[in-house]
Amino acid sequence: MGLRLPPSGFTDRTAARGGVSYASWLRRAGGLVIDLLLLYMITTLFFIVLGAFSPALHVHVLTAIILFVVLGGFSVLYATLCLTKLHGQTPGMRAMQIRCVPAVGRGSLTTAQAVVRSVTAAVIITVPRVFGPPALVMMGLYLAAYLWPLIVQRRQTWWDLAAATMVLDDRGY
């Protein structure tokens, strides 16, 4: 039957009656862990191949810059392509049976929504790891962004809010 989308006139109070179930924080975290493991394996292979052809890559500053650019860019590309081509799911989201859909209207995510969601998430996740002393503040912002679904009714992260998306439970539909 497929995913149940919110009916027209949908509000948070009528979500349960309409059969809409927001994805739990644990399912979202599980999907993120699976996706991060996939990204880690792919970027590790990339660096193994790159290191075999470029022995000068052992300079730590250059390695950090390349890692930042490659990992950030690849994570945006990965998430954007998966969300648009796999009907709102990354492999981690598919394994956890959750799906990203537009917060308003019906249908699947637009490419623009997927790009905004991916870039916002990549900036919030990647920046704290790179920029020294303010990293503690940025890490606090990252934690606040990822824990945000625990306190809002629609369980949206900041990247969901930026892209006007929400993540729904896809089990049994």
What's residue 3's pLDDT?
Answer: 53
Q: Does 148 reside within a domain?
A: yes
The answer to whether residue 126 sits within a structural domain is: yes
Least confident residue range of 6-15, 46-55, 80-89: 6-15
Q: Round to whole Å and give the CA distance between 44 and 162.
A: 30
If one compares 1 and 73, the residue with the highest pLDDT of the two is 73
Asked if residue 12 is part of any domain, the answer here is no
Region 6-29 average pLDDT: 68
In a domain, 129, yes or no: yes
Which pLDDT score is estimated for 117? 93
Residue 11 pLDDT level (bands cut at 50, 70, 90): low
For residue range 109-133, list pLDDT tens digits in order: 899 999 999 998 888 776 655 555 5
Q: Establish if 2 belongs to a structural domain.
A: no
Mean pLDDT of 91-97: 93
Q: Considering the entire predicted model, what is its pTM? A: 0.76
pLDDT band at 30, cuts 50/70/90?
A: very high
The whole-number average pLDDT for the span 80-94 is 92
Domain count, the chain: 1
pLDDT exceeds cutoff 80 at 66: no
Q: Which domain holds residue 147?
A: 19-169
> Has residue 31 got a pLDDT over 90?
yes
In a domain, 9, yes or no: no
